[in-house]
Homo-oligomer: A and B are copies of this chain.
């Protein structure tokens, strides 16, 4: 049994200049407990080497091919403890599969993959190999989302009777009417179905609604009735979705990439028999809570009345915004804590498992498939 205090990790994707790879590295850096020691950062050889050099990676651990990386790192004594997969969506499945097969724990960007079948295979592989697998549904990492979860689970709002959630952006508004021009923001991947999957808007952000609501409430849709808007494009830019959960409760999810004035507007509103909660991603340090018949309360991160998991994951004094990078870091915090214990042969606690898993990723894929199917069939109720 070892007595490790730090972890070693590798990255696939995330060459210099790539957005999401940098967020992953910086989030891990905030935790201060893991070192980047291997990578396959880019299919562009120069960029791959350049990135590796910047991060001080040994030449023998800079890989041109992710399969080689998985194989090699899987057998080294000082091999990586986990890999962060930040490649384009359409590659997630094969990259994740390679590392799982090599016996390496995985962190993968969402969406996990494009089909339920692929997702279930990854889920099964991780289970068989006894590996940890996190899917970075970022927003569940915010400590006030943890607080919302604790409040719902402890009955603060009673039984959930309606869910009203939305994720509105406007960065693709100029796609409307742009047709199949190759100069638009979407065009890089839109024209190749293999790269884009079956949905754009629901796949990219609608799935965050599903995951965040489920994380807080435990409620996954069992049926959906959806209408997607494409505005002349091949894939959806806007969607309104009626949902029904296992317990018969209903809700509505709206997502859009063409809603002028909305930047990254994930808003979760939960209505219960005893009260209501509202969380707005753009003001993540606050949580609005209304106990039935009483004034609405504004709860703030880092205060004395915030306890439980949200308090454990507090990093900066109240009133000093933590921001998205800490939400990411919180996901890594739990995941890496689990990996370290596994490496050292210790038992994992509930807190070590407090991150979105491959199973959550599969549920996300099922949701997307059902939404697209419902829309195709005239918005009829469709089982998830």
**Chain A stretch 13-33: residues in CB contact (< 8 A) with chain B:** 19, 23, 25-26, 29-30, 32
Q: Mark A265-303, 1 if CB is under 8 A from B, else 0.
A: 100000111111010011111001111111111111011
* Residues of chain B within 8 A of A177, CB atoms compared: 273
Residues A242 and B225 in contact, CB atoms below 8 Å apart: yes
A271–B258 CB distance below 8 A: yes
Digit string of A226-244 for contact with B (CB within 8 Å is 1, else 0)?
Answer: 0101010000001010101
Given A254-B164, A272-B260, does the pair A295, B292 have CB atoms closer than 8 Å? no
A166 contacts partner chain B, Cβ-Cβ < 8 Å? yes
- On whether A240 and B250 interact (CB within 8 A), knowing A297-B295, A316-B324, A324-B322, the answer reads yes
Residues on A facing B (Cβ under 8 Å): 5, 19, 23, 25-26, 29-30, 32, 54-55, 157, 161-162, 164, 166, 169-171, 173-174, 176-177, 225, 227, 229, 231, 238, 240, 242, 244, 250-252, 254, 256, 258-265, 271-276, 278, 281-285, 288-300, 302-305, 316-326, 378-381
Name the distance in Å between A174's Cβ and chain B's nearest Cβ.
8
Contact A261 B296 (CB under 8 A): yes
CB contacts (< 8 Å) of A323 on chain B: these are 316, 320-326
* CB closest chain-B residue, reference A323: B323
Known: A258-B271, A283-B283, A298-B296. A252 touches B240 (CB 8 A): yes
| CB within 8 Å for A162 and B242 given contacts A320-B324, A325-B316 | no
Considering the complex, give the chain B residue whose CB is closest to the CB of A284.
B321
Report whether B162 and A319 are in contact in the complex, using a CB–CB cutoff of 8 Å: no
Residue of chain B at shortest CB distance from A379: B225
Q: Are A250 and B271 in contact (CB under 8 A)?
A: no
> How far is B157's CA from A252's CA once the two chains are assembled, in angstroms?
25
Q: Which chain B residues lie closer than 8 Å to A305 at the CB level?
A: 293-295
Known contacts A319-B282, A324-B321; decide if A161 and B242 are in contact (CB<8 Å).
no
With A164-B166, A295-B289, A295-B297 as given contacts, are A320 and B225 in contact (CB-CB < 8 Å)?
A: no
User: A19, A26, A55, A229 — which one has the most chain B CB atoms within 10 A of its CB?
Assistant: A26
Give the CA-CA distance A254 to B161 in the complex, in Å.
14
Q: Whole-angstrom distance from the CB of A321 to the nearest CB of chain B?
A: 4
Given contacts A238-B161, A242-B227, A299-B295, contact A263 B319 (CB under 8 A): yes
- Chain B residues, CB < 8 A from A321: 281-284, 321-324
Find out whether the CB atom of A263 lies under 8 angstroms from the CB atom of B318. Answer: yes
List the B residue with the shortest CB-CB distance to A164: B254
B378 engages A379 (CB within 8 Å): no
Residues of the B chain whose Cβ atoms lie less than 8 Å from the Cβ of A278:
261
**A173 B292 Cβ-Cβ under 8 A:** yes
Q: How distant is the Cα of A24 from the Cα of B384 in the complex, in angstroms?
A: 47
In the complex, how many angstroms separate the beta carbon of A49 from the nearest chain B beta carbon?
14
- Closest B residue by C-beta to A237: B161
> What are 8 A-B residue pairs whose CB atoms fall within 8 Å in the complex?
A161-B238, A263-B303, A263-B317, A284-B321, A296-B300, A297-B298, A322-B324, A325-B326
